[in-house]
Amino acid sequence: MAAKVSLGKKVPAFKIASSNGETFNLADKKGKKIILYFYPKDSTPGCTTEGIEFNELLPKFKKLNAEVYGISRDSLKSHDKFICKYDFKFELLSDEDESVCQLFDVIKEKNMYGKMVLGIERSTFVIDEEGKLVGEYRKIKAQGHAQFILDQLKEL
């Protein structure tokens, strides 16, 4: 997948393993807004905060015809533990081969304890009912992010 997503353009349909045991297929989501938030790692402090906040605001997202999906490079097994631990009511998508991360260009060089490593840059994308990218938010802080996205969604 060489093409990257860009604002105002249709997001290429992709399929990815989901925590619900099925395959998430973007093409099946027409008619719904999709909130796709990329996060670095299950059960880490920032990612937990972000997940809990999205979970708490889920009914408000649903009122706006939006479905929330978290996505990281973690395995489905890791996602299952994360979901059970915090009782998340939304699916987590597993991108172990980084194909969707590449599509959305979220793999960036990061400084971890003085060492440069490649990891997911916390980012969120909003896809409209027609499959077009209408919101792109990068380098975000975990805390308060879900509310920020909800507020943005009301503006769109």
pLDDT band at 109 (very low <50, low <70, confident <90, very high): confident
Strand 91-94 vs strand 66-72: parallel, antiparallel, or unpaired?
parallel
Q: DSSP alpha helices (H): ranges in 13-144?
A: 45-63, 76-86, 99-103
| Count of C-beta atoms within a 10 Å radius of residue 118 | 11
pLDDT in tens, 5-39: 999 999 999 999 999 999 999 999 999 999 999 99
Decide: pTM greater than 0.85. Answer: yes
pLDDT in tens, 33-63: 999 999 999 999 999 999 999 999 999 999 9
Q: What radius of gyration do the chain's Cα atoms show?
A: 14
114-142 mean pLDDT:
93
The active-site residue out of 36, 47, 127, 149 is 47
pLDDT in tens, 71-83: 999 999 999 999 9
Distance, in Å, from the CA atom of 130 to the CA atom of 32, rounded to the nearest integer, reads 8
Distance, in Å, from the CA atom of 133 to the CA atom of 119, rounded to the nearest integer, reads 23
The yes-or-no answer on residue 101 being catalytic is: no
Q: Are 84 and 49 in contact (CB under 8 A)?
A: no
Structural domains for the chain: 15-155 (3.40.30.10)
pLDDT(2) > 80: no
CA 27 from chain centre, in angstroms, equals 16
